[in-house]
Amino acid sequence: MQNKIITTLFSFLLSVGTGFCADSAGSNHISVFEKYVSKAVTTDETARCLNCHASRQIKLIESWEKTKHAANQVGCFECHAAEPNDPAAVPGHFGFCVKLPVTPKTCGSCHTEQYASFASSSHALAFDRIKNNPIRQASPIVFETTCASCHGNETTLKRGKAVDESWPNHGIGRINTDGSRGNCAACHGFHEDSLERVRSSDTCVACHSNSFSPAVQAWKNSKHGASWQAYAKSADMNVKGFVSLNEPVMRPDCFVCHFAAAKEGHKSTHNPSERLSWELAALKATHTDNWGDKRLMMQETCRNCHASTQTEQFYRRLDALVVETNKIVEKLADNSNENAYKNNKIKSLAIKSRVGAAMMSPAHRVEAIEELLEQK
Ligand code: HEC
Ligand code: HEC
Ligand code: HEC
Ligand code: HEC
Ligand code: HEC
Ligand code: HEC
Ligand code: HEC
Ligand code: HEC
């Protein structure tokens, strides 16, 4: 009963939000209704958020309390505080100016290196590259619930509330109201900062298992992704600065090849393109700029586990398959643009063949090539 009255009072106070982020009259005596004693030592601001929010999202708060963030006084206020002129800011939130979306700009104010690296990646551009897609013009809600759930959307809010279909959105290339691009939480999650979680291939699965990016299935089908070693849990996956050479694991997960430091003295990256010699996800694959250097970077990783004969052979065959697939596609693709469906089918088969080669899945390669040869 008492809770119900309190909730009603909160809703009322929220609804009469003052329209700017100055202290609202009710804030001080509201927080004394509930006194939450957190396991974490917090700033005074965050202590006030916890007093109220503990009665609502207790599971959220418990998961935050286990983090390094909580141990370092990075709490609710430190991440959710907003600039008053940010359209995502909820006005007059009990004396605070807060917002729900926490953007790379906020994370990057403390993690500058990761921010800069991520901002230069194609992950940060994932929405930008498809913003003119006809689906977006035809139906914003279809776009939001399909393409945008992976690629991101341009979020438009007014006084903290959604004005169209674009928010909430958790895609990787989201355009934020504070001008920043992308979304760290697409991989790290909302309130966990566990490296073990983000290093799992499950982080990539939601986005990289479709016809334009069958990477997860291809990896699982390969010797690299086989689970025969999954139970050999001797490694500490939360270790800072993972370097294959120093860790007792033989199974390369996605992050080992695409993110982690390739060798001692190197840094991890948040831009997987730094190690890619091909742009595979297109009708016709092309080399990336400075592809030779990028390939050498990737090979540093392979060297932790393989002899160069093995890796050089791998790249010779990858190149050969990419070139062959391009030739087949060239013959099949209908450049008149009249047959978009057919071209899409050919494109996804071509990607399947190349990603099968990159991620070493014999089944993907053979299925894709067979189907391509059947196309007319
Ligand atoms: C006096 C109580 C109270 C205090 C203090 C308080 N909040 Fe809230 N907050 C609420 C209530 C109630 C809601 C609405 C909950 C819901 O929608 O389920 C809310 C909602 C939110 C939301 C979601 C907004 C949205 O768009 O849905 C965020 C983010 C938030 N609060 C962050 C904070 C932060 C950060 C602090 C501390 C700086 C804080 N709050 C302090 C009561 C409070
Ligand atoms: C390290 C930064 C960080 C900290 C610390 C943090 N949050 Fe969040 N919070 C986020 C991110 C990121 C999201 C996801 C929002 C988005 O989509 O951008 C989020 C989402 C939320 C949501 C919506 C969750 C949902 O599933 O509906 C609430 C409510 C919230 N935070 C409240 C809090 C409260 C209360 C605290 C303090 C215990 C807190 N946050 C601490 C980063 C943070
Ligand atoms: C106010 C500063 C601040 C903000 C904002 C912040 N962090 Fe952190 N973060 C820290 C600190 C301090 C640590 C602990 C570092 C350590 O233990 O060396 C940390 C740790 C982490 C870790 C674990 C690193 C490790 O070595 O185990 C990750 C991952 C992380 N943050 C991601 C994020 C993300 C994603 C966001 C935004 C949603 C964010 N952080 C926002 C300060 C911040
Ligand atoms: C399940 C997540 C997911 C959804 C949903 C999704 N994509 Fe993608 N898309 C991806 C990933 C991952 C890649 C990157 C593949 C790579 O680089 O190997 C990608 C790549 C692309 C590319 C670049 C490749 C190229 O053809 O040049 C385009 C364009 C694209 N997607 C458009 C779309 C459109 C339009 C939609 C909605 C109809 C959509 N995607 C839906 C995950 C998704
Ligand atoms: C929320 C969705 C999402 C998640 C999670 C995600 N990706 Fe992506 N990824 C994309 C999209 C979309 C693209 C295509 C970007 C573009 O080119 O427009 C992409 C592109 C890529 C590329 C190609 C980059 C290039 O320059 O061609 C690599 C490699 C990649 N992702 C690896 C990963 C790995 C490894 C993980 C897991 C640690 C991961 N991604 C998690 C959506 C995601
Ligand atoms: C595509 C998925 C993905 C996205 C998006 C992402 N991260 Fe990470 N992040 C990872 C992976 C994987 C690791 C572990 C790298 C390793 O083992 O070396 C990591 C590690 C980290 C660490 C630990 C230190 C380090 O560099 O290894 C921090 C801090 C961090 N990320 C912050 C961020 C911030 C800030 C953003 C947004 C600007 C962000 N991440 C976006 C996947 C991602
Ligand atoms: C053993 C190392 C290794 C592992 C493990 C690995 N990859 Fe890859 N990945 C590669 C190589 C090599 C390429 C092609 C490199 C090139 O272009 O030179 C590639 C290409 C890709 C591409 C295509 C990029 C493009 O050009 O469009 C995506 C997406 C991708 N990987 C995602 C993943 C995901 C997700 C996982 C985990 C399920 C993963 N990778 C595991 C080595 C690896
Ligand atoms: C962390 C260790 C590790 C890393 C890093 C690694 N591999 Fe492997 N690789 C393995 C293991 C384990 C096998 C399976 C060997 C066996 O069957 O005993 C394997 C198998 C292979 C095979 C044989 C596949 C087959 O189907 O017969 C090739 C080719 C290969 N790796 C290439 C690469 C390339 C190229 C890279 C770098 C892009 C790489 N590997 C990175 C551990 C690794």
Q: Identify which of 121, 124, 72 has the alpha carbon closest to the alpha carbon of residue 103.
A: 124
Residue nearest to atom 38 of ligand 5 (CA): 204
What confidence tens digit (pLDDT) does each residue in 275-297 have? 999 999 999 999 999 999 999 99
Classify residue 169 as exposed, middle or buried by CB count within 10 Å of its CB (0-12, 13-18, 19+): buried
Burial call 16-36: b when 16+ CB within 10 Å, e when fewer = ebeeebeebebbeebbeeeeb
Give distance in angstroms: CA of 45 to centre of ligand 3: 19
Q: Which residues line ligand 5 (CB under 6 A)?
A: 122-123, 125-126, 129, 150-151, 171-172, 186-187, 203-204, 206-208, 254-255, 258, 272-273, 276, 279
9 pLDDT above the threshold of 60: no
pLDDT number for residue 29? 39
Tokens 């982080």 correspond to 203
Domain ranges of the chain: 2-99, 106-188, 196-374
What confidence tens digit (pLDDT) does each residue in 190-227 have? 999 999 999 999 999 999 999 999 999 999 999 999 87
**CA-to-CA dists, residue 85 to 89, 273, 283, 328, 333, angstroms:** 7, 35, 43, 54, 49
300 pLDDT above the threshold of 50: yes
What confidence tens digit (pLDDT) does each residue in 66-96 have? 999 999 999 999 999 999 999 999 989 999 9
Q: How confident is the model at residue 32 (pLDDT cuts 50, 70, 90)?
A: very low
